[in-house]
Amino acid sequence: MDESQLSDRQRQVLEAIRRLKQENDMPPTLREIAEAVGLKSVASAKYQIDQLKNMGWLDQIDNVSRGISFSDQGSRHQQEQEAAAESNVHIGKFVRVPLVGRIAAGGPILAEQNIDEWMTLPESLVGKGDIFLLKVKGDSMIDAAICEDDMVAVRIQKTAENGDIVAALLDDSATVKTFKQRDGHTWLLPRNSNYEPILGDEAQIMGKVVAVLRSL
Amino acid sequence: MDESQLSDRQRQVLEAIRRLKQENDMPPTLREIAEAVGLKSVASAKYQIDQLKNMGWLDQIDNVSRGISFSDQGSRHQQEQEAAAESNVHIGKFVRVPLVGRIAAGGPILAEQNIDEWMTLPESLVGKGDIFLLKVKGDSMIDAAICEDDMVAVRIQKTAENGDIVAALLDDSATVKTFKQRDGHTWLLPRNSNYEPILGDEAQIMGKVVAVLRSL
DNA sequence: TAAATAAGCGAACAGATGTTCGAAACAGAT
DNA sequence: ATCTGTTTCGAACATCTGTTCGCTTATTTA
């Protein structure tokens, strides 16, 4: 899904849709699009729309007037463009981060088959760096106010400092714990009195937890 | 331009237009409005629209599908009534939400002078609706895994159900508590054994907490 | 060069949408 | 009860809108 795959005409159509939608506060009709980009036939406009639909840039509700909308991928592009263009209001940058599902030991943390979905988050929330999202299993960090099913944003780094909350790979599964080094050993401390500290010498540190997200 | 001039049906129509427009990202058709408010004839819907048009609440482009929009006056009223409902700019699958700082009792919850900054969040995180962000003060909700300085996303609504975590206006300051109605009284329950339940009969419910964000 | 593909055009069609009209139901005032 | 204004309904109509089809033109490929 690269913008370079778009022809001039297709770029023109996308930009026209964005502009007309903003001007009129509703998506344009095929004929409005045709006129905006200089096409003399409605069918030509529909042809372009169908192309962009197949490429995943647009969604359209069939047989519904003005039923054109940007798809997830398309709107993300639009969003980033608008955010960059709208300089009078401070919006900041965005980071597109993968939500990692299955964890495979040994292999690279991030692999395409492990990624469930993508989410775009403001950089003010997760900071800079290589970030991925992990869904929390269990309640071992409840005293650190991290619950089951929370999503944690993890900045990839191989080590950590005492007290950092980290995501670590242990026995083929990812876990979130407090990092502590003492007496030459690495400990992964749960924050729940029902659990015992784990000796983490063999654990692989995936990164540091930099944000917590919870949907209720 | 007083709301008291509006009949129940007219209020119903305005609310339906606002809701449908937000849900579908485009203004509704007359038939969609008719169905939404329980009118069985398109002509009835048009009759109501014409009334509201003559009263200055709505604008409409003739013979254009989905050509209904709020007039300046209508939008302004909408803003006052819904506590800046129109302030949230929906861009694709993202929602631009204001971070509310100071809270003034009595006045509208959201006012420009109260907004510190804006943040754009994915709709998958906060859901649909009119959302604002609030920074949590104190540790009274620590057992609900909500810490001091966390940001909570609040969906504006005037009431709540038992067990919901809500943001409420109490004594000129905003507070986050668990909502509970019992014996004809409204209680705002902290989730920290060091605090006592608060009788919330006089409190104004700002909305329901739908997400928690924490930067570490 | 010839075939294949992409892009555009015009026309016709079906469905969606806004508009208009007359009649009926309803509530309040006389 | 009668009148009057408001609101709703159903139907018909005109326009707008999306869809489909055949055809042409330009570009690319064999």
The model's pLDDT over A167-197, given as tens digits with 9 standing for 90+, comes to 998 877 889 999 999 888 999 999 999 999 9
Distance B47 CA to D4 C1' (A): 19
B158's enclosing H/E stretch is: none
Angle at A116 between CA A113 and CA A122, to 5 degrees: 125
Mean pLDDT of B30-49: 87
Q: Is A140 a catalytic residue?
A: yes
Percent of chain A at pLDDT exceeding 90: 22
Compute the distance between CA of residue B114 and CA of residue A103 in angstroms, rounded to an integer.
44
Residue, of A104 and B81, whose pLDDT is higher:
A104
> Which segment of A40-49, B113-122, B156-165 scores lowest on mean pLDDT?
B113-122
Segment of A142-146, B65-69, B90-94, B167-171 carrying the highest mean pLDDT:
A142-146
Predicted local distance difference test score (pLDDT) of residue A6: 67
**What is the phi/psi pair of residue B52, to 5°?**
-65, -30
From the CA of B15, how many Å to the nearest CA of chain A? 18
Domains recognised in chain B with CATH numbers: 3-81 (1.10.10.10), 87-213 (2.10.109.10)
pLDDT at B185: 92
Is the pLDDT at B154 greater than 70? The verdict is yes
Q: Please give the average per-residue pLDDT across B64-91, as a whole number.
A: 53
Burial of B67 (0-12, 13-18, 19+ CB in 10 A): middle
Block residue for tokens 């080590």: A159
Contact at CB, B165 and A122, closer than 8 angstroms = no
Give the pLDDT of residue A105. 46
Q: What is the mean pLDDT of residues B171-180?
A: 87
pLDDT, tens digit (0-9, with 9 covering 90-100), for A98-150: 777 644 444 445 444 445 566 778 778 888 777 888 889 889 999 999 999 99
Give, in Å, how far the C1' of D27 lies from the CA of A6.
Answer: 17
DSSP of A182-211: ETTEEEEE-SSTTS--EE-TTPEEEEEEEE
